[in-house]
């Protein structure tokens, strides 16, 4: 089951302590304006978590996720981690479906990934393409419905 987290008091948000990519990002940053966390939950525990920002462009840095945008067109997955093998990939695809249903203006799904071999393998294995390499990050894009 996919669970949307938009409240900084949600106990599932305590699991950001396990974020291997961007543990320094505060609870408040993750769940304000057009940013939220999605958790794939099963067997009464989190199986995987992803932080998402809705934007009107593809960001190069985490700071580019700040602020609001009136009509988001791009969902940015800026950190993901899993507790159960295979759950991260399932979470990405479930998240895309939920975002498409709730935000019909969003038609792009990209990442703001670290420049690591693990991130590269994960995203390429799950069908993403390299969109752009930035100074400190890489944007992968998931082409849905292609």
CATH of the domain at 95: 3.40.630.150
Rounded to an integer, what distance in angstroms lies between the CA atom of residue 133 and that of residue 98? 27
Instruction: Return the structure tokens found at 72.
Output: 């988001």
| Main-chain phi, psi angles of 115, to 5 degrees | -85, 70
Task: State the pLDDT at residue 145.
Answer: 62
Task: State the pLDDT at residue 44.
Answer: 84
Q: Using one digit for the tens of pLDDT, what is the confidence trace for 123-136?
A: 999 999 999 999 99
Q: C-alpha distances in angstroms, 18 versus 1, 15, 35, 73, 114?
A: 20, 6, 19, 29, 16
Domain that holds residue 12: 2-142
Q: Name the pTM for this structure.
A: 0.95
pLDDT at 144 exceeding the cut of 80:
no
pLDDT at 91 exceeding the cut of 80:
yes
| Average of per-residue pLDDT across 77-100 | 96
């Amino acid at each position: 089951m996919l669970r949307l987290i938009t409240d900084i008091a949600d106990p599932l948000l305590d699991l950001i302590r396990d974020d291997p990519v961007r543990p320094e990002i505060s609870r408040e940053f993750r769940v304000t304006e057009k940013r939220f966390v999605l958790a794939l939950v099963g067997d009464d525990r989190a199986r995987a978590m992803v932080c998402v920002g809705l934007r009107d462009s593809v960001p190069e840095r985490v700071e580019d996720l700040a602020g609001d945008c009136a009509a988001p067109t791009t969902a940015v997955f800026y950190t993901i981690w899993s507790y159960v093998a295979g759950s991260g990939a399932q979470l990405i695809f479930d998240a895309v479906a939920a975002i498409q249903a709730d935000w019909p203006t969003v038609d792009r799904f990209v990442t703001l990934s670290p420049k690591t071999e693990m991130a590269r393998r994960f995203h390429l294995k799950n069908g993403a393409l390299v969109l752009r390499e930035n100074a400190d990050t890489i944007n992968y894009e998931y082409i849905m419905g292609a």
